[in-house]
Structure 1
Amino acid sequence: MPSGQRTPPKTHGKAVQRTQKKRKIIRIDEKKCNGCGFCMPNCPEGALRIIDGKARLISDIFCDGLGACIGHCPQGAIRIVERDAEPYNERKVMANIIKQGKNVIKAHLEHLREHGETGYLNSALAFLKEKKIKNPLEEKEGHEKETGKGAIKAAKDCPSGDHSQFSQIRICPGSAEMDLRDKSRSSNQSNAGLKDEMSNRQVKSGHYAQKQESMLRQWPVQLSLVSPNASFFNDAHLLVSADCVPFANPNFHSELLKGRSLVIGCPKLDDVEHYVGKLTEIIRNNRIKSITVAIMEVPCCYGLYSAVEQAVGNSGKKVPFEQKIVSVSGSMDGS
């Protein structure tokens, strides 16, 4: 055997077990990261550290791939990808978390609960029970719970941003169930004194005088289904929309879709790397005049803008693109 070459380990006729598997995990773009550290407090699992002036993922086993840190990166340097990685290990994460105190334990448990990760949550609770540590989710919250201050704090601390309008909701608006019909009820009640309100509106503005027409210019619309060489992409203004946007924004057709070709997708549930590749082909193979990226305000949605940004860069073309953010109550960019 040549000098310096290591002897391969003996396997006794058995294949070496492969511990890695393909799963969702964060990736940090070192060129974009400026080492601000805003992501670290929002990773209760302790997967991130600032090393040599850059945020680093210290171990695959500490990253659950849910992306709570993404919405706190002002540089857009963090995204979720799918790659071979060591399996996430909830017990090792909990061993790290309990050293950081009750508040960090609670933040981690709430994080798992909000994303419906019942398997990880049960594993974490079992670990706490073994270590004879009280479950902070079961503790009474006293005055804060009674006055709603705790709820306001939970909304403000949410990775999606300041959601004071959701002050009575104790979990992230990205995962919470919300009934927004109260908004319509109050609007109708406040106009209860007007006779035949709908007719009045029709006469005054003509807004409801006729059915709104669909502005959809093509089919299919799913990014995973469209052909990069489809004729409707050439010489087009392109709208890249998150799946939830048309349901949240009542004026989607008139404000966003009109005059644009459309592709839709969900960066949380789908393969973002595939999105980057498909969008790169669309931009490279066609004359795209502009790109509008419409996303929801929740943190998991920002991966779609990142995918477009990468695709434009990969295409080698200069295409102007902008971002439109839609709130869960339907308003767009503060409008």
Structure 2
Amino acid sequence: MIRKIIQIDENKCNGCGICAKACHEGAIGMADGKAKLLREDYCDGLGDCLPACPTQAIRFVEKETAAFCKETDNTENPWPVQIKLAPVQASCYDGAELLIAADCTAFRYERFYRDFVKGRGVLIGCPKLDKEDYSDKLTEILRENKIKSIQIIRMEVPCCGGLERAVEKSVIQSGAKLPWQVVTISVDGKIKSIKEGKENG
């Protein structure tokens, strides 16, 4: 896939190592006294390393490379987890039970990780704050990967309806045949309702 990653000009690099420390993904390392992009698939394309470079040896390029999906101890999760930033295609989606959650739910429901996150790939978003329809992005993710199931976690407030509608629309648009479920959390942090979605076909 074509995506944005960093490129390091070794002629400009002074070997200070600041960029390697600034890279939260471990994509940059030091070799032969110079900074090097060790793993293109570890580069998230967000550029935390750019402002750290005192010699401006780092720049963005767009090129054909592997999708960003850093191997960690929690390999079932894509990264970034924000829907608008998440990769469309990644090996960590294959066979995944996908959790798509409204941002607020993790802070209102105290057992959020234990009851919902563990063992699932996670995507989060807020249609009110992001002011966007996630359905096109989610449709691409469903078309390009073998998702096993979807669980939507939303608040009972009206704005969270946008997240539920986007997932339902993406399931229809993608033609995906998979089970999906909507769990609604009340404003006082309790499970208010659980609704089963309909599989296509």
Q: Same fold (TM over 0.5)?
A: yes
Q: Does 1:317 align with 2:176?
A: yes
Q: Hey, what's the Cα distance between the residues in 1 that align with 2:103 and 2:150? A: 17
**Equivalent residue number for residue 68 of structure 2:** none
Q: Tell me the distance in 2 between the aligned counterparts of 1:327 and 1:216.
A: 28
1:239 and 1:257 in contact (8 A); partners too = yes
> Which whole-Å deviations, capped at 9, do the CAs of 1:40-85 have from their partners, x for residues lacking one?
xxxxxxxxxxxxxxxxxxxxxxxxxxxxxxxxxxxxxxxxxxxxxx
- Whether 1:222 aligns to 2:60 is no
The corresponding residue for 2:116 is: 256
> Which amino acid counterpart does residue 261 of structure 1 have in structure 2?
G
Q: Is the 8 A contact 1:241 1:265 kept in 2?
A: yes
Q: Is the 8 A contact 2:135 2:169 kept in 1?
A: yes
How far 1:283 moved relative to its partner? 0.5
Structure 1 runs (4+) greater than 4 angstroms displaced: none
What count of residue pairs does the alignment treat as equivalent? 121
Which residue matches 1:306? Answer: 165
Q: Deviations over 1:150-208 (max 9, x none)?
A: xxxxxxxxxxxxxxxxxxxxxxxxxxxxxxxxxxxxxxxxxxxxxxxxxxxxxxxxxxx
Could you say which residue in structure 2 is the equivalent of 1:270? Answer: 130
Query: 2 CA distance for matches of 1:334 and 1:286?
Result: 29
Residues 109-157 of structure 1: CA distance to partner in whole angstroms, max 9, x if unpaired? xxxxxxxxxxxxxxxxxxxxxxxxxxxxxxxxxxxxxxxxxxxxxxxxx
Structure 1 stretches lacking a partner, 5+ long = 1-213
The secondary structure found in structure 1 opposite 2:192 is: coil
Q: Per residue, is there more strand in 1 or in 2? A: 2
Per-residue Cα deviation, 1:201-228 (whole angstroms, up to 9, x for no partner): xxxxxxxxxxxxx998343110011101
Alignment of 1:1-40 (within 5 A): none
TM-aligned CA deviation for residue 267 of structure 1 = 1.2
Which whole-Å CA distance do the structure 1 matches of 2:193 and 2:172 have between them? 29
Query: How do residues 2-81 of structure 1 correspond to structure 2 at under 5 angstroms?
Result: none
SS at structure 2 position matched to 1:295: strand
* Structure with greater Cα Rg: 1
Q: What residue number does 2:101 align with?
A: 241
If the length of structure 1 is used for normalisation, what is the TM-score? 0.34
Classify the secondary structure of the residue corresponding to 1:272: coil
| TM-score, normalised with respect to structure 2 | 0.56
Q: CA deviation at 1:268?
A: 1.1
Confirm or deny that 1:291 pairs with 2:150: yes
- Alpha-carbon distance between aligned partners in 1 of 2:86 and 2:75, rounded to the nearest angstrom: 18
Q: Which structure would you say has the larger RCO, counting Cα contacts within 8 Å and 6 or more residues apart?
A: 2
Q: Which runs of 5 or more structure 2 residues have no equivalent in the other structure?
A: 1-73, 195-201
